[in-house]
Amino acid sequence: MTLLEARDVALSFGQTPALRGATLSAQPGEIVAIMGPSGSGKSTLLHCLAGILVPDQGEIWFDGQRIDTMNESRRSLLRRDRFGFVFQFGQLVPELTAEENVALPLLLGGVRRPAALRRARPWFERLGLAGLERRRSGELSGGQAQRVALARGLVAEPGVLFADEPTGALDTLTGEQVMDLLVSSAREQGTTVVVVTHEARVAAYADRQVVVRDGKVNALVTA
Amino acid sequence: MSVPLTLLGLLERKPGHGYDLKRDYDTFFSRGKPLPFGQVYATLGRLARDGKVVIGDVEPGVGPDRKRYVITDAGATEVDTWLTEPVEAEPHLQAVLFTKVVLALMLDRPAEDYLDTQRGVHLRRMKELTELKRTGTLVDAMLADHGLFHLEADLHWIDVTVARLDALRQVVRA
């Protein structure tokens, strides 16, 4: 059974083609790494899969629904309710505390503040962040901030977690801790993960790796 | 290691004398460590004995007669098998990978496909080592790290080589 799928997707930015017939699918609970050199189209593919970008051609399917033909407000709801995101630089809201940042997807989804914070707090113990709940992002190290971002991405138990270079701004050891936590947490929840990375060591955490080159997806024979 | 197969690959490109083979080997593969003539002829002798090459025309000249070696079907099959099969994912493979890539380009074979297959084999090994790190002791993790960093270096080399294949093709086929 396929949970998420891009079928023959093409997308250009002006005259520049970014994707040229990219096809990729992910099963429930699967961790898929999208690799490729800079400018290969790997982040563009992630953005199409996540409903952030709409392809010029091809189809995007999630859980039996075609999402590239949905209007923006439905895709926005889908992203909020079914998808989680982790980006390279955490992108925490600086005015909020760490626990408010983690609770944010729940608050945006209509969960009342006390309940949202109650669900957010266990993530701090789980990700080795106990005691940092009230800190703001400027008071966190890069690794701590990225773990908070990871908690925020997973707190609403999304169907898919999209991670775009989640360790790109971290040193090797910290990056590996983040990947280890990402994989463990996603497996515990049964969350599908699509991770974009140019680092083989990060991709090695995934169940399956594909390479995007010239806007197309090449499967790697790794099993 | 891969000298006999490299010489076979050079012969698949075109039949040649021992001297030509040594010259081409030294140009592309020896990296400052020229192949001794004795090793060239001993290798060619073994390849002939095993039916991988046959001796074609013999040209008289000053000194010993010059034998022209021609690859057989069995030899060509062996080169094809060697090029197609990825190398086991162990660190420090650049020399073997480099030889395969250059020969593949010389023979107009799909070098990029070979490199992709090799990338897959490397990633599979990296996946195994990563799992060992996640589930093993600190000592396991540190040993796994050693392998991971070296395999990662190979993968960087594979990526850069893929990006330079067109330029390399022009150099080796000039």
* B57 and B92 together in one domain: no
pLDDT band at B92 (very low <50, low <70, confident <90, very high): low
- CATH number (domain holding residue B31): 1.10.10.10
Q: What percent of chain B has pLDDT over 90?
A: 52
B113 vs B115: CA distance, rounded Å:
5
* B21 and B62 together in one domain: yes
Taking the CA atoms of A219, A15, A72 and A119 in sequence, report the sign of the dihedral they define.
positive
* B79 and B47 together in one domain: yes
Residues of A with Cβ-Cβ distance to B124 under 8 angstroms? 222-223
* B71 and B103 together in one domain: no
* B75 and B135 together in one domain: no
Beta carbons of A79 and A52 less than 8 angstroms apart: yes
pLDDT (tens, 9 = 90+) of chain A, 223 residues, equals 899 999 999 999 999 999 999 999 999 999 999 998 888 899 999 999 999 999 999 999 999 999 999 999 999 999 999 999 998 876 899 999 999 999 999 999 999 999 999 999 999 998 889 999 999 989 999 899 999 999 999 999 999 999 999 998 888 888 888 899 899 989 999 999 999 998 999 999 999 999 998 888 877 655 4
Q: In one letter, which amino acid is A133? A: E
Domains plus CATH for chain A?
Answer: 4-219 (3.40.50.300)
Overall number of domains in chain B: 2
**Contact between B120 and A203 using a beta-carbon 8 Å cutoff:** no
Among candidate residues B52, B68, B84, the one where a domain is terminated: B84
Q: How far is A211 from chain B (nearest CA, A)?
A: 9
A86 vs A160: CA distance, rounded Å:
11
For chain A, helix (H) and strand (E) counts, in that order, are 8, 10
**Contact between A180 and B134 using a beta-carbon 8 Å cutoff:** yes
ipTM for this model: 0.80
Chain segment A50-105, per-residue pLDDT in tens: 999 999 999 999 999 999 999 999 999 999 999 999 988 768 999 999 999 999 99
* B66 and B94 together in one domain: no
For residue B126 the two structure tokens come to 């990296």
Among candidates A180, A200, A211 on the partner chain, residue whose Cβ is nearest the Cβ of B126 = A200
Helix (H, G, I), strand (E, B) or coil at A61: strand
User: Could you tell me the residue range of the domain that residue B8 belongs to?
Assistant: 1-84
Cβ atoms within 10 Å, residue A208: 19
Q: How far is A200 from chain B (nearest CA, A)?
A: 6
